[in-house]
Chains A and B, each alone.
Chain A
């Protein structure tokens, strides 16, 4: 009896191919779940009662699967992340989020199959040593990253939304129109941003954000 495996990936053609690879090796119960919103996905997965869920870490250009790990594990099922990313920050976050294992998409398929096998038996997918390495690498990177992002974290949500607009090439006027606030309010935010980031111009603020790899959060925050 082979385990029941579900694949969640934003890349439909690739996940079909992956499912085909499993079937070719004798897994009879492998399926691809069409992408949907988080709650819908969880309901869908729960209704199929899989032994193992192979979850792609990137579910689109701006969507990470980290928020899905917890709810899926709670179904309960075993979640194994598959990713082409090597970013210790992301990988560590998956482990912290409760993922049973992480598989590099590029490693030989046999290893993925072995992992799925182990996961379905309830055996540990990742050795505790490997976990510790990942987590400590993540902590190191987090410390660095926090230092880089500290000035951006000091921005209020509204200021972050305005900076996000500037990063997308919007002018103060456009940001004001788009988010339905007064132009003077946007300018006040901009001045606060400049003084917190220690730069003189809007353009320099955008450059600082790009250099630090800062990503704007929720664009709706300006109205809150």
Chain B
């Protein structure tokens, strides 16, 4: 992190200055009685938390780290809590429902902050097995549902946390008012966010994980926000005060972290694609074009002028070089790369080019084939054509993709030697073709007999 230290120091200074100024200089008042702004802040927090939940769940799915699971749980809870508060901020006629939502959100925030702080303390090596994940998900859902049901059924007399109309400007000094339990929980939240800040920032020195750094920076501001909420309770009032401002600041940091994570992802994604394509093209050019051109160069540079028979060979090599260059150019121009007919033809012709076989490729453009199965189909065509030419000695291979009912059918037929289907020879890649077909949700059928050629039929289901 280039400006990491500046961001951390800046956050601490900003949070501390803010808190000191509003506490010690009663003249300064940054309070607005604006319910709508309160709702907007909660909605914004919910959206940011949703984004971070999405990113954390993605990380968890990849490596199954406990830390990512805790982060996912924390952000999902933050998102739900804020959405609940946004919703009740606009409809607060039913007193019981309002009281329930507010108390639920107080506890929800403590749970979320707890998970967040725990994530900061857990190292990257702690993992979650599928069984543990299932058990804990079930326990969490059961607990939440149980508590909600209990509250509903018992119609608990939920004490008011705070007079919603209470104005921070009524007194210029800190006023620690409200339900004692709620106040205690604000202090607990302060502790949890401070822990998270220290934990995440210490982890970043070891792991160089930028997202964790921004979590740490955000947690600093959030800890100061909690301090302000404790001194000037506005979190559950109709007032927007310094605590809300600092909370907003913490979410700006979280958004920066999330945005940089996404940007990094796209950058690597692009790099992978570009490097892969570059290698593929280099191979294509080396395998085809440069072979033909080398041959031409070698023959034409010779002191011995080519005879009539050699001239034919030279002309053929030049023709092949031209065809090959067009093929490579077509591959470059075809940005989508998704043209199935083209990629199937490229695979079959690439194999045929190395032998004396000819291939014909026919693709019904209306055959329903999912875009993500193109690559597998191309590999099946390559394998089947290779078998036909290498093992069957085929002179002609026909590739055909057609509509079949709801789905599609890929046929690769050759005039090679065939084999006894009851004892399929090894090394034919039949198993791997069958696996690929199965991966596409389809199946493979082989029609062959010794001396009768081979037809490989891949049946693909409808979408």
Q: Do A and B bind each other?
A: yes
Contact A61 B287 (CB under 8 A): yes
Q: Does A102 contact B (CB under 8 A)?
A: no
- Within 8 Å by CB of B295, from A14, A24, A211, lies A14
Given contacts A177-B439, A206-B272, contact A84 B294 (CB under 8 A): yes
B316: A residues at CB distance < 8 A: 13, 17
Contact A84 B375 (CB under 8 A): no
Q: Does A1 contact B (CB under 8 A)?
A: no
- Within 8 Å by CB of B298, from A109, A174, A187, lies A109
Q: Does B302 contact A (CB under 8 A)?
A: yes
A177: B residues at CB distance < 8 A: 439
Contact B435 A12 (CB under 8 A): no
Q: Does B198 contact A (CB under 8 A)?
A: no
Q: Does B303 contact A (CB under 8 A)?
A: yes
Give B67 Cβ to nearest chain A Cβ, in Å. Answer: 12
Give A81 Cβ to nearest chain B Cβ, in Å. Answer: 13
A105: B residues at CB distance < 8 A: 291, 294-295, 298
How far, in angstroms, from A207 to B267 measured CA to CA in the complex? 10
- Within 8 Å by CB of B291, from A11, A112, A187, lies A11
Number of interface residues of B (CB under 8 A): 50
Give A62 Cβ to nearest chain B Cβ, in Å. Answer: 9
Q: Does A118 contact B (CB under 8 A)?
A: no
How far, in angstroms, from A207 to B295 measured CA to CA in the complex? 35
- Within 8 Å by CB of A58, from B265, B269, B287, lies B287
Q: Does A132 contact B (CB under 8 A)?
A: no
How far, in angstroms, from A112 to B297 measured CA to CA in the complex? 12
Contact B313 A21 (CB under 8 A): yes
A8-33 contact mask (Cβ, 8 Å, vs B): 1 or 0: 00111110111011001100000000
Q: Does A194 contact B (CB under 8 A)?
A: yes
B330: A residues at CB distance < 8 A: none
B299: A residues at CB distance < 8 A: 21, 109
Q: Does B268 contact A (CB under 8 A)?
A: yes
The residue of chain A having its C-beta at the shortest distance from the C-beta of B279 within the complex is A210
How far, in angstroms, from A76 to B87 measured CA to CA in the complex? 87
A112: B residues at CB distance < 8 A: 298
Given contacts A108-B302, A187-B63, A190-B63, contact A13 B320 (CB under 8 A): yes
Give B93 Cβ to nearest chain A Cβ, in Å. Answer: 48
Number of interface residues of A (CB under 8 A): 46
Contact B269 A203 (CB under 8 A): yes
Contact A20 B310 (CB under 8 A): yes
Give A213 Cβ to nearest chain B Cβ, in Å. Answer: 8
Contact B286 A58 (CB under 8 A): yes
A10: B residues at CB distance < 8 A: 354
- Besides A21-B313, A105-B291, 13 other A-B contacts (C-beta < 8 A): A10-B354, A18-B295, A20-B309, A21-B299, A21-B310, A25-B304, A60-B354, A108-B301, A108-B302, A112-B298, A177-B439, A201-B265, A207-B268
Residues of A within 8 A of B (CB): 10-14, 16-18, 20-21, 24-25, 35, 58, 60-61, 84-85, 104-110, 112, 169, 172, 174, 177-178, 184, 187, 190-191, 194, 200-204, 206-207, 210-211, 213
A-B residue pairs in contact (CB < 8 Å), sample of 30: A10-B354, A11-B291, A12-B355, A13-B316, A14-B292, A14-B295, A17-B295, A17-B313, A17-B314, A17-B317, A21-B299, A21-B310, A35-B354, A35-B390, A58-B287, A61-B283, A84-B286, A84-B294, A104-B294, A105-B294, A107-B298, A107-B301, A108-B298, A109-B302, A109-B304, A184-B64, A203-B265, A204-B268, A211-B271, A211-B275
